[in-house]
A and B are shown apart, each in its own frame.
Chain A
Amino acid sequence: MIETNDLSKQFNDFHAVDGVNLSVPAGQILALLGQNGAGKTTTVRMLTALLKPTRGSARVAGYDVARNGDDVRASVGVLTEHHGLYMRMSAWEYMDFFGQVYHLDPSLRKTRAENLLEYFGLAEAAKRRIGEYSKGMRQKLALARAMMHEPSVLLLDEPTSAMDPESARLVRDEIARLKSTQRTIMLCSHNLTEVELLADKIAIIYRGKILIQGSLNELKQNVLGSPEYSVRFASEWDASGLELPQGMELLEKTATSLKVRVDAPQVSNPQLLQRLASISVPVVAFQEEVRTLEQVYLKVMAAAKGKEYVQ
């Protein structure tokens, strides 16, 4: 698990991270979103005990990052912004080196390296120098290295950047599998679709401060308001006489459609459909309006910058 309390880092007069409070239990994925330079990397570096917090505290896998640096580093697998691959080594040597770094015995190193290289489709190129690898292959190898010691906490910075769609899918599947094995994962990404697919919890950081955090639905609810639904009719119908159920607000009305905002869809939606059916309105579609994480993110960022959000 990851737990931070008022975690802060100051470089001279610059507040890189300012009072961050996060909590990620085992078996969950937290996505940390933010612009470049917002404080994501500094947060990750504090969580890997590379940087000392100037204020506050953090516990990773049960260890205090300020006091038990070595234990924290032994429990964490990190995929850094730069892959950090040694170009004159082969993938096999590289995996073996990091296996030794994490004190794995030779047979376990061999098995794990074989399995991971096989899984990421690098087995055939395992004896080639990393310098000859493509960007995507390097990314996959860096990710394999982060998983080599089967850490209980994974901190992944842009895990699928530079990858082809097939490889990106492979990595997403692996992250989902790791989550199911009760690992704690923190994901820093600009790929919002990927975050929507993977994250249990999302936090948006801006100038070192967490602006908002919660599940995707919570963020949508808090930032974009209650969900919106549209109703489409088979033919023109005058809805002016329609009485909407309580907690439902009319947003838009055309000759063949309605758009409503609903506070409690599980209660109000069946009521609306019942009323429409009772007066024999030919409904052909009733669907929730798609609201993306991108909309949430852009709206939060616009508010933080004091700008107006344009959808």
Chain B
Amino acid sequence: MFNKLRPVWLVARRELRDQLRDWRVLMPMLILTLCFPYLMNEFARQTADFLNSFDANLVLDRLVPFSILIIGFFPITISLVVALESFVGEKERGTIEPLLTAPFDDWQLYFGKLLVGVITPLLASYTSIGLYLLLASQQGLELPKASVMLQLMLLTTAHAFLMVSAAIVISVQSTSVKAANLLASFIVIPVALLMQGEAVLLFWGNESVLWLAILGVVIIALLLIRVGIAHFEREYLLGREIDTLNFKWMVKTFWASFSEGAANVAQWYGKAFASSFRRAMPAMLLMVLLAVAAAWFSYDWVVINIAGTLSAASAEDLVELEESIGGLPDLSSLGEQRMDAPFLFLNNTRVMAIIFLAGLASFSVLGVLIYIINVSLIGGVYGVLELLGVAPLPIFLAGVLPHGIFELPALLVGSAVVLYIGAALVTPQTGKSMSEVLIELMADWAKIFIGLVVPFLALAAVIEAYITPIFLAGVIAR
């Protein structure tokens, strides 16, 4: 094992040495590491004085953890610079070829670069945080408890790995440092949004949710590393692909994959659609299992927790609950009040599009999460109905089943394709460039979406608008 890791350290150590001799990397890192804690400390002192004058202790409690999150993040931004030019920079300087001719495995080169991308910025980041904690304690500010401190350190580390792994993916696929820098916005923007979300969680003060956020960031970082390794090939670094967008080629590749030479709709369903459907089958089976598990867990959670909450509720709370339930629309008039089918169709299509986009941005993680939430609602509502003393089965058979026959498979298959795309992206695809793989996966999604999801959602919307309310009203009337 040690022998396998030796080349990783060799690549990393050489580059670390190189970094430490480059004032363009060292100077900003030193400034950010040493000066920023002082500035942040001064900001915290001023803010503390201001908040104390209003007795805003809650905000004050969160100020130090928030400052640590920010202080830890700034030196990490350097990692982006280092990692972005890791492969493409060497390619531009012509030093990549002797390194590529070394008897190293691809993963050894990849991890060497990953390591060097995170080591220096993380050391700077930890130093900066340490310095700030020292200053904050001298100020008499309350330091975060150990578990929060651990969360912050983990978040900082995960940010570094997330940014570096994404930057390396870009670096491998780019042909110039300039192109890699331009593509860096695809890292900076999501990470900036992520930081805002984490800051909100910090101020909200919900530790358990923050653990989930950390887990999410770690999973995305691991998936990005996997993508990087899956698509790292020496050949890409020496290939002839250029950075300009070749729309003609993109359209041609997409169309070839989408139509697969079919001459009419029947042929298309039999050949092109069927091949994509077959590829997504394992993901569909997994989604069925996930649906069963999610529905069962949400039902179980509702029955256990809500029942307890209801029995422990005061008479006042129960009155309030009754009043709020009384505010719901009159279910008995459902037969006459028909919902708009186009609205239902557009709403459900929008959900599918969100699942796709969220999945695409997170290697399917967020897409699958939205799917799980949707399916969990079914189990949850089933449990609530049971608690309210209503027989849930007839309600479900009348209120969900008629349109659910089409809507649920559409949701399942549409989400399964997103899972399939995520899995395919993190799987090595030899002989194909990453852009080629991505376009073919888009074609797979389009085939399933147009060939199955859209027609099923349209049918479901019509049934939900015109047939389900009649069944439901009949059941409720009885």
B275 at the interface (CB under 8 A from A): no
B26 at the interface (CB under 8 A from A): no
Beta-carbon contact of A101 and B94 below 8 Å: no
With a CB–CB cut-off of 8 A, which chain A residues contact B235? Answer: 50-52
With a CB–CB cut-off of 8 A, which chain A residues contact B102? Answer: 73, 98, 101-102
* A79 nearest CB neighbor, chain B only: B98
With a CB–CB cut-off of 8 A, which chain B residues contact A73? Answer: 101-104
- Residue of B17, B96, B98, B239 with most partner-chain A CB within 10 A: B98
A84 at the interface (CB under 8 A from B): yes
With a CB–CB cut-off of 8 A, which chain B residues contact A11? Answer: 239-240
Total number of A-B contacts with CB less than 8 angstroms? Answer: 72
A120 at the interface (CB under 8 A from B): no
CB distance from A93 to the nearest CB of B (A): 8
* A100 nearest CB neighbor, chain B only: B10
With a CB–CB cut-off of 8 A, which chain B residues contact A51? Answer: 234-235, 238
With a CB–CB cut-off of 8 A, which chain A residues contact B234? Answer: 50-51
A74-99: which residues lie under 8 A (CB-CB) from chain B? Answer: 74, 76, 78, 80-86, 88-89, 93, 97-98
Beta-carbon contact of A45 and B238 below 8 Å: yes
A48 at the interface (CB under 8 A from B): yes
Complex Cα distance A73/B95, Å? 16
A145 at the interface (CB under 8 A from B): yes
Mark interface residues in B11-52 (1 if CB within 8 Å of A CB, else 0).
000100110011000000000000000000000000000000
Complex Cα distance A50/B239, Å? 10
**Known A11-B240, A84-B96, A97-B14: A50·B101 in contact at CB below 8 Å:** yes
CB distance from A8 to the nearest CB of B (A): 14
With a CB–CB cut-off of 8 A, which chain B residues contact A98? Answer: 98, 102
A70 at the interface (CB under 8 A from B): yes
CB distance from B97 to the nearest CB of A (A): 4
Contact of B98 among A12, A80, A89 (CB under 8 A): A80
* A80 nearest CB neighbor, chain B only: B97
Complex Cα distance A93/B239, Å? 30
The total of chain A residues at the interface (CB under 8 A) is: 31
A36-79: which residues lie under 8 A (CB-CB) from chain B? Answer: 45, 48, 50-52, 70-71, 73-74, 76, 78
Contact of B10 among A48, A88, A93, A97 (CB under 8 A): A97
B55 at the interface (CB under 8 A from A): no
Beta-carbon contact of B94 and A102 below 8 Å: no
Beta-carbon contact of B97 and A88 below 8 Å: no
**Known A101-B7, A101-B10: A82·B103 in contact at CB below 8 Å:** no
B340 at the interface (CB under 8 A from A): no
CB distance from A153 to the nearest CB of B (A): 12
Mark interface residues in B229-254 (1 if CB within 8 Å of A CB, else 0).
00000110011100000000000000
Beta-carbon contact of B21 and A76 below 8 Å: no
B100 at the interface (CB under 8 A from A): yes
Beta-carbon contact of A84 and B10 below 8 Å: no
- Residue of A71, A81, A101, A145 with most partner-chain B CB within 10 A: A101
**Known A51-B238, A70-B103, A101-B102: A84·B97 in contact at CB below 8 Å:** yes
With a CB–CB cut-off of 8 A, which chain B residues contact A78? Answer: 97-98, 101
Beta-carbon contact of A84 and B98 below 8 Å: yes
Beta-carbon contact of B18 and A89 below 8 Å: yes
* A149 nearest CB neighbor, chain B only: B103
With a CB–CB cut-off of 8 A, which chain A residues contact B96? Answer: 84
* B90 nearest CB neighbor, chain A only: A84
- Residue of B7, B17, B103 with most partner-chain A CB within 10 A: B103
B99 at the interface (CB under 8 A from A): yes
**Known A70-B103, A73-B102: A82·B18 in contact at CB below 8 Å:** no
CB distance from A68 to the nearest CB of B (A): 10
* Residues of chain B having any CB pair with chain A under 8 Å: 7, 10, 14, 17-18, 21-22, 94-105, 234-235, 238-240, 431
Beyond the given pairs A50-B101, A101-B102, 18 more chain A to chain B contacts, judged by CB atoms under 8 angstroms and listed by A's residue number, are A14-B240, A50-B97, A50-B234, A50-B235, A52-B431, A73-B102, A78-B97, A80-B97, A81-B97, A83-B94, A84-B94, A84-B95, A84-B97, A86-B14, A89-B18, A97-B10, A101-B10, A102-B103
**14 A–B contact pairs at CB < 8 A?**
A11-B240, A14-B240, A51-B235, A52-B431, A73-B101, A74-B103, A80-B101, A82-B94, A84-B94, A86-B14, A88-B18, A100-B10, A101-B7, A101-B104
